[in-house]
Chain A
Amino acid sequence: MGAIEVTDLAMAYGELKAVDGVSFEVGEGEFFGILGPNGAGKTTTLEMIEGLRKPDAGEIRLLGERPWPRNADLLPRIGVQLQASSFFERLTTREQIHTFASLYGVPTAHGDEWLERVGLVDKASTRVEDLSGGQGQRLSIACALVHDPEVVFLDEPTAALDPQARRNLWDLLSGLNESGRTVVLTTHYMDEAEALCDRVAIMDHGRILRLDTPATLIRGLDAPTRITVTPAQLEVGEARTLAGVDDAEEQVEGTVLVTREPARVVALLAERDLLDGVRVQTGTLEDVFLDLTGREYRA
């Protein structure tokens, strides 16, 4: 049995169908991602599973139990990070996590351990208002995990972070399911879902469009490979004549060759000594999204 089972979940805000018939299952110890643009219904789905909202329709089993109405037996077994800095105002980092530790009835020492794990020991006496975005997210994640829950929900933990802080957080996140813990993460970053998740549900307009491992999603796309040669090395016309090249175009970063036989094309480029600075791009989840919805991905 999975850690989470969701069947035909639906929820509307007035006319707007925020979640429209969603079904999926998350296995024990799995790192599960829900990927989609803003307003896709990710947060609403998550909040229904956590037990914050009553679904209009559908069934939810979280660790075998119904989360709605507020299920007090379930609460110590799950950890949540909501899509905001849900902190007590004007407390220091340490006071913050100690407060959460006591709410969950665990020793405050667990809080200190988690501060160390998320790398906030030297910020322990800093007030939460003075933490940077990344530090705040780390603390928020630590607060969600202080009682060592079996399932943890992270709602866009890297939103509004700069790329460097986002990468730093990935290192922390990727280890969260190591000890058998189930992790559910929402994100609107394709690369993040690709890097962290065992399986990804791509969501838009309240529906799940596709659900699979990132690799399978990309492979299933059958997208061509794009090979970019540094500028002024290869004429577009000449490039089109190369065997295996389906199309070519001139771009700022260089001549882009579109192919389904990358090995053959790379070999030809090697013969012409054009490999310096060459860039090879296979399909990404972004292409999958474009393919599924017929429109550009808007984060």
Chain B
Amino acid sequence: MTTLTKPPDSRTVSGGRRMAPFASLSKAILLGFVRDKMSVFFAVIFPLMFLVLFGGIFGDQSQSKIDLIQIGDVALVDDLPDGAAEAFEETFEVTRSDDREAALEEVKDGDADVAIEMDGNALIAHYTQTDPTKAAVTQGTLRAFVDGANVAASGQPPTYSLDVRSVEDDSLQTIQYVTPGLLGWAIAMSASFGAAATLQGWRQSKLLRRLQLAPVSTRTVVGARVAVTVAISLVQMAIFLGIASAFFGLTLTGSWWMSVPLLVVGTLCFMSVGLLSGAVTKTTEGAVNMANFLVLPMAFLSGSFFPLDAAPDWLQTVSKMLPLYWLNEGMLDVMVRGQPPSAVFVPMVILAAFALVLTLVSARLFRWETH
């Protein structure tokens, strides 16, 4: 083979800064992301708005106190021992009144929930059935106090005691439940939108072709794109957990750090959802819309916004066939349910399987030409 005479100019300049292809590609992709206000909005700000909404507005969902009017002296309440008095005040917002008629009128109008008075040794409670839950709680609680007082009056130590412990499962506080779910949705969006837009955008601008003709391997190109998306996911996670902990009282349980590897696999899985969207559509907008079309209903069906415990069985079955369900379950398990690190293994395997299958399907469906 004849060697061609090389032009003498620039190739002889060997000094100067060089950047590894992986690093420069990652930098280019990352800059492309952070300068795209729409992408940043949908990846970070938009899901955060939901977090603030759920965490702030629906945050305090514990039963509000019951308004109780005490008419005259009620020995039972006045003479409660310290511990019991405290418990009593946690349940009831107590106001005192000497005007019996006015107090009963208030209960009737719904301004107070219950009025109590003593008639000899009997405690009389006047309440309405307007709010059945409050009515039931009122009855039950007052009965418990009367029983307790009876036991105390007998001078005998109680035979049975009740020790209440929260198992933090079905009864997770709102913020505990929505943080992992919304984070799952946020990551599903940014990973799938990013992959869909890149595949379509780069195909249309022929940048994919151009990179094929540059001396960099497919592995380097794909690796850089994956690395940037995973990094974005981890930043999303840090922002979510930071804000939820600092402002809305999120408490993470022991092995929450296992959500990091889970999140990485989840990111790969939703990148493959994006690849599929990019492969079956013809424009960048179409690809992103398709990804959104897949992810948004999936977020509802996977319990990202609200628990599905009350949903019909068939819906819960459908939900278990969706990758986002497994990402959410895995994160809930280790972040707030106090499950051991091994709890994320099954979700990770399922997410990895989705990623593999969807990537292979996308590769089969991908066409270089749009016509």
Q: Which residues of A contact B (CB under 8 A)?
A: 1, 3, 28, 50-52, 63-65, 70, 72, 75-76, 78, 80, 82-91, 95, 98-110, 113, 127, 148, 150, 179-181
Query: Contact between B31 and A110 (Cβ–Cβ < 8 Å)?
Result: no
3 smallest CB-CB distances across A and B, nearest first, come from A107-B16, A179-B7, A102-B24
Closest CB in chain B relative to A68 CB, distance in Å: 12
Question: Are the CB atoms of B9 and A98 closer together than 8 Å?
Answer: no
Contacts of A64 in B (CB 8 A): 1-2
Q: Beyond the given A90-B36, A110-B10, could you list 7 further A-B residue pairs with CB under 8 A, ordered by the A residue number?
A: A1-B2, A86-B207, A88-B207, A89-B32, A90-B31, A109-B15, A179-B7
Output the least CB separation between B60 and chain A (Å): 42
Q: Is the CB of B206 within 8 A of A103?
A: no
Instruction: State the CA gap A50–B209 with chains docked (Å).
Output: 11
Query: Does B165 lie at the interface of the complex (its beta carbon under 8 Å from any beta carbon of A)?
Result: no
Closest residue on chain A to residue B220 by CB atoms: A103
Query: How many angstroms between the C-alpha atoms of A65 and B4 in the bound complex?
Result: 13
CB distance from B206 to the nearest CB of A (A): 4
Q: Mark B1-23, 1 if CB is under 8 A from A, else 0.
A: 11011111111011111111101
Binding site secondary structure of chain A: loop
Q: Specify which of A65, A87, A103, A150 is in contact with B216 (CB 8 Å cutoff).
A: A103
In the complex, which of the residues A72, A88, A102 contacts B32, with contact meaning CB atoms closer than 8 Å?
Answer: A88
Contact indicator A80/B213 (Cβ below 8 Å): yes
Chain B: interface residue count, which band? 35 or more
Q: Which of A72, A91, A106 contacts B18 (CB under 8 A)?
A: A106
List chain B residues, Cβ under 8 A from A65: 1
Known A102-B20, A109-B17: A76·B215 in contact at CB below 8 Å: yes
Q: Is B201 an interface residue (CB 8 A)?
A: yes
Chain A residues near B209 (CB, 8 Å)? 52, 82, 86
A127 to B35, CA, bound (A): 10
Closest A residue, CB atoms, query B31:
A91
Instruction: List chain A residues, Cβ under 8 A from B13.
Output: 107, 109-110
Q: Hey, which bits of chain B sit against chain A, CB under 8 A? A: 1-2, 4-11, 13-21, 23-25, 27-29, 31-32, 35-36, 201, 204-207, 209-216
Identify the closest chain A residue to B29 (Cβ): A88
Chain B: CB-nearest residue to A13: B369
Give Cα A103–Cα B220 distance, bound, in whole angstroms.
10
Residues on B with beta carbons closer than 8 Å to the beta carbon of A50 = 213
Question: How far apart are B315's CB and chain A's nearest CB, in angstroms?
Answer: 40
Minimum CB distance partner of A81 in chain B: B210
A104 touches B4 (CB 8 A): no
Partner among A84, A95, A105, A110 whose Cβ is within 8 Å of the Cβ of B204:
A84
Q: CA of A65 to CA of B3 in the docked complex: distance in angstroms? A: 12
Chain B residues with CB under 8 A of A1:
2
